[in-house]
Amino acid sequence: MKNIKLLSIVFLIITQHAYAQQKTADRNEITDVINEYSKYVIEKDSIAFYSLFNDGPVTWCAALKERSQAREFEKNGIKAAKRNYFSGSYQAFMRSLSRYKSTEDKFDNIRIVEDGTVASVSMDYSFWADNKMANWGGKYLTLIKRDGKWKITSVIYSLELTDYFNQPPLKERQKRANIN
């Protein structure tokens, strides 16, 4: 009886350890995807960038924050206020980078939730073009683990325009994230 209890305890410890190691490996792999995303935007490497995404439909959608939309309305009139959102594709995003000499998508305040098969990542981002921040906001990715590799299935983000509003410091953004 003692041997069975001891074996059960050892089995539980080994199983928990293996699960924790896999969870850490998955989080590291997801973090690698995020880092590669940023790297390929800087390098404007479309082939490598495209490899981060799932085959088939991938959602790509953004919404302009209300206060930036109000400023756009003041500046540009009714045309600017018609829609506060747009959808596109990761391919169109990558093609749009060609109009700039340099680009960078910076991420911080990253939070990953995953179960080994699906994941959601929320983060703060700032998009830089020609060494100047153009917009910032929240970015949300969903991923699936397909054939042993994490692939992005959606990118949804908010846009605050730096022409009107600066990105708050990281500490302030972290406080807001903890409140919600």
Taking the CA of residue 107 as centre, how many other CA atoms within 13 Å lie in the half-sphere pointing to its CB?
21
Domain harbouring 123, CATH code? 3.10.450.50
**Which burial class, exposed, middle or buried, applies to 177 when counting CB atoms under 10 A from its CB (0-12, 13-18, 19+)?**
middle
Output the pLDDT for position 133.
97
Output the pLDDT for position 152.
98
Q: How confident is the model at residue 166 (pLDDT cuts 50, 70, 90)?
A: very high
pTM: 0.82
Task: Among 10-19, 53-62, 101-110, name the one with the lowest average pLDDT.
Answer: 10-19
Range of the domain at 174: 2-179
Domain total for the chain? 1
Output the pLDDT for position 156.
98
